[in-house]
Amino acid sequence: MVGDCLDFVTIGKNYYCGYRMELCVRNDAGALAEKAANEYFKIIYIESETLHIALNKNFYILTGANVICLNEQDQISFKEEPKDNIMILFFKPFVINNKFCSESFYNQEKLSLSERQDLEFLNQFQHNCSDSLKIRQLYTSIASVIKQKFELLSQQLVLQNSSYWPCRSRSYLLELLFVLNRFEEESPVLVPQQQKLKYTKLTEELIDYLQTCYNQKFTIESLAKMFHTNRTTLLKEFKQSTGQSITNYVIEFRIFVAASLLRNTELAVSEICERTGFHDMSYFSRVFKKKIKLTPSKYRNLIKNNTCQ
């Protein structure tokens, strides 16, 4: 049996029969016009040679691969409805954290520090977010990774092939949000406030790549070749722009992602280790403890105990 999608709710079939998850992937642009769609946040992945859209009465022309993030109030329409290469993810914020109801989402006073950090993943869905931050054109390498994450999430919701399907579905949603949110602009976790300067084009493109492909293996030499430069220039420009080495930046980003997965899912620590690109449990525990001051397991238990209080 496979999972059913009723409106924009995925219904459990194989495991947790009848369980309702306010998370669904659709492949038709017409779904955006359905009345129930106005209750959901949306992430739209679309590929097109040229696409004319109206977003909140402002007009844009998109080319290539793009992602569009919409809250429940945003209005979008297409001059010509796209027929192919479109995936739309519908979700409600409490899928990420059950405290993210409409009241707490727009009034954060009752949220803990860790919950406010998780809320940063949804910056581009805030009502006061400009349209320019809701639309993001993607480099080819980044587009392929985002498309793959959409497909993995959709597959997990449909197949429901283990009792972890709700948890893994949530984790793929989180990973998409990690990629789409520009942490170098919005979060103090990775880049100190005084370093929030204008990056060079090389550094900006490299950051986009690292935040998208953080779980992949790479070398400085392979990055230099990918960005058509040499090792010395790559290292120097990145350090001057961010104040960090490339290696340290990637490690801190991986830890940041891992901490969120520990807080918001029940995935095994070993799976989170693999999913975030560490691949070695002892090394993962060591660098996580160095940054967070707790092992991954103790960090998860601490957050869980604080949530229950």
Which single residue is written with the structure tokens 């519908």?
Answer: 90
- What is the C-alpha separation between 26 and 225, in angstroms, rounded? 37
For residue 271, report the phi and psi dihedrals to the nearest 5 degrees: -70, -40
Say what the alpha-carbon torsion angle 116, 200, 46, 53 is, to the nearest 10 degrees.
90
Confidence grade of residue 308 (pLDDT, cut at 50, 70, 90): low
pLDDT surpasses 80 at 190: no
pTM of the model: 0.82
Q: Show the DSSP H helices in 107-230 as ranges.
A: 113-119, 131-134, 140-159, 165-180, 183-186, 201-212, 220-226
Q: Please, is 90 exposed, middle or buried when counting C-beta atoms within 10 Å of its C-beta (0-12, 13-18, 19+)?
A: buried
pLDDT score at 7? 78
Q: Which has more confidence, 304 or 278?
A: 278
Confidence grade of residue 126 (pLDDT, cut at 50, 70, 90): confident
Per-residue pLDDT of 261-303, as tens digits, reads: 999 899 999 999 999 999 999 999 999 999 999 999 999 998 8
Q: Which has more confidence, 282 or 108?
A: 282
Cα separation values, 141 from 17, 138, 227, Å: 38, 8, 12
pLDDT surpasses 70 at 197: no
pLDDT score at 184? 37
Confidence grade of residue 195 (pLDDT, cut at 50, 70, 90): very low
Confidence grade of residue 6 (pLDDT, cut at 50, 70, 90): low
By percentage, how much of the chain surpasses pLDDT 90?
Answer: 55
Which single residue is written with the structure tokens 């480099």?
Answer: 139
Q: Please, is 110 exposed, middle or buried when counting C-beta atoms within 10 Å of its C-beta (0-12, 13-18, 19+)?
A: exposed
Cα separation values, 177 from 72, 169, 232, Å: 17, 13, 32
Q: Which tokens sit at 238?
A: 């990145």
- What is the C-alpha separation between 60 and 182, in angstroms, rounded? 21
pLDDT score at 59? 93
- Whether 8 and 36 have beta carbons less than 8 Å apart is answered as yes
Confidence grade of residue 5 (pLDDT, cut at 50, 70, 90): low
Among 66, 76, 73, which residue's Cα sits nearest to residue 102? 73
Query: CB within 8 A of 272, min separation 6: which ones?
Result: 258, 261, 262, 265, 296
- What is the C-alpha separation between 231 and 214, in angstroms, rounded? 19
* Secondary structure element (H or E) that encloses residue 262, with its range: helix 246-264
- What is the C-alpha separation between 302 and 307, in angstroms, rounded? 9
Confidence grade of residue 200 (pLDDT, cut at 50, 70, 90): confident
- What is the C-alpha separation between 21 and 96, in angstroms, rounded? 11
3-state helix vs strand vs coil in the chain, percent to 5: 55, 15, 30
Per-residue pLDDT of 13-62, as tens digits, reads: 888 899 999 999 999 899 999 989 999 999 999 998 889 999 998 999 99
